[in-house]
Amino acid sequence: MAKNVKPNPLRWGVKYSLSAAITGILCCIAPAMLFMFGLMSGVYAISFADFFYQEDGSSGTGAWILRILALSVGIYGIYSFRKKQNQCSIDPKRKQKNLILLTIIIAILGIGTYLVLEKWSAWYFDAHIVPSQQKELKIN
């Protein structure tokens, strides 16, 4: 018979916050990583990222869809933790404390990771991908 293991809010929070952050910034991380490994040219990496942004650089529909998906991943993490936690015989006050802790971990770590990845990808695009694109298009 399977033994019900109490879910660890820290592990659960790290797993879902990182998943949410990567989902939310996938529009910039995916082309940067593919370019970094030589699987995508600078022109294609920028055109891929442009799909998610408007001409003025503000977020487009695609970027908002990814952010909504990221929020959904975080909410699903909280929901599934609560469901798993309710299978165990834990003190109700401890369940509530764990759920609050998990929510804080997912929010802070998820948003923080998202912002760090956003800054990194903006720097990487400016430092590496844009110069490569200009060389490919022979723009001076």
The pLDDT tens digits of the residues spanning 123-138 come to 999 999 999 999 998 8
Tokens 């909504």 belong to: 68
Band of residue 1 on the pLDDT scale cut at 50, 70, 90? very low
Tokens (6 digits) for 95: 């369940």
Is 52 strand, coil or helix?
coil
Residue spans of alpha helices (H) in 39-85 = 42-50, 61-85
Dist. CA 118–CA 83, nearest whole Å: 32
Domain segments of the chain: what residues? 9-137
Is 47 within 8 Å of 30 (Cβ atoms)?
no
pTM score: 0.86
Q: Which of 14-23, 24-33, 48-57, 77-86 has the lowest mean pLDDT?
A: 48-57
Point out which residues pair with 53 in neighbouring strands: 59
Residues 6+ apart with CB under 8 A from 130: 42, 46
Q: Does residue 89 or residue 122 have the better pLDDT?
A: 122
Residues 6+ apart with CB under 8 A from 136: 41, 42, 43
